[in-house]
Homo-oligomer: A and B are copies of this chain.
Amino acid sequence: MYFTAVSKRAYGQFCGIVRAVELIGERWALLIIRDLLVKPKRYSDLRQGLPRIPTNILAARLKELASAGIVRRRLLSRPSGVVYELSEYGRELEDIVLRLGRWGAKSLTEPGREDIVTVDSLIMALRSNFRAGRDASYELHLGDIVINASIRGGRLEVAEGTLPDADLVIETGTAIMTLMAGDVTPAKAIESGSVRLAGNVDLLSRFVDTFRI
């Protein structure tokens, strides 16, 4: 079931934490897993979601993660191609990755000049910071990214794309961070024009409550 460690340079300790770091501690590994937690992906999808990863590193990590039993390489026909997906063992990382995202988001301030937001990072950000709230559905536009989130029965589902019957459509930019972090009130954000809405406008404050950092 489980095979070789990813990292060659061993830490020399017999310990679960050390083992975990050897498996997923290499550069880029956890971000590949982040994207695969959203859904199985082709090699080219992964490249697109991680624009700065060197192609040889992506290939190496996928091989290592596969031999560690975390990722599976699956051949598909019609259309033919290759998809990478998480194994059961890999999917067990979901909760850890989400918690890491919540922890890391607390120390996010301004996006750097070269920092981008990807579809998968935004999807995982919503999953990370979700706290149960009343049902609602949202369509969120951030730059040219469109995702939708629906809370039904206290459970959250987030996916890429529009949601025609969303209760609220939110169009915004990176300024949404100040809103989610509570640095600015929903009313102020609307007033300043940093978010534009369509639908049930009152739901914006519920959205903020549901996903507040």
In angstroms, Cα B106 to Cα A105, docked, is 28
9-residue interface stretch from A92-100, A133-141, A185-193, A201-209: A92-100
| A99 B96 Cβ-Cβ under 8 A | yes
Q: Which of A2, A103, A105, A112 has the most CB of B within 10 A?
A: A103
Query: A10 an interface residue at 8 Å Cβ cutoff?
Result: yes
User: Size band of the A side of the interface?
Assistant: 35 or more
The answer to whether residues A25 and B25 also contact, given A31-B17, A101-B16, A128-B17 and a CB cut-off of 8 A, is yes
Beyond A31-B21, A97-B17, is A51–B12 a contact (Cβ under 8 Å)? yes
Q: Which residues of B contact A106 (CB under 8 A)?
A: 2, 16, 89
A117 to chain B, nearest CB (A): 5
CB distance from A177 to the nearest CB of B (A): 8
Q: For A20, what are the chain B residues with a Cβ–Cβ distance below 8 Å?
A: 100-101, 103-104
CB distance A25 to B30 under 8 Å? yes
Q: A25-B27, A27-B25 are in contact. Are A104 and B19 (CB under 8 A)?
A: yes
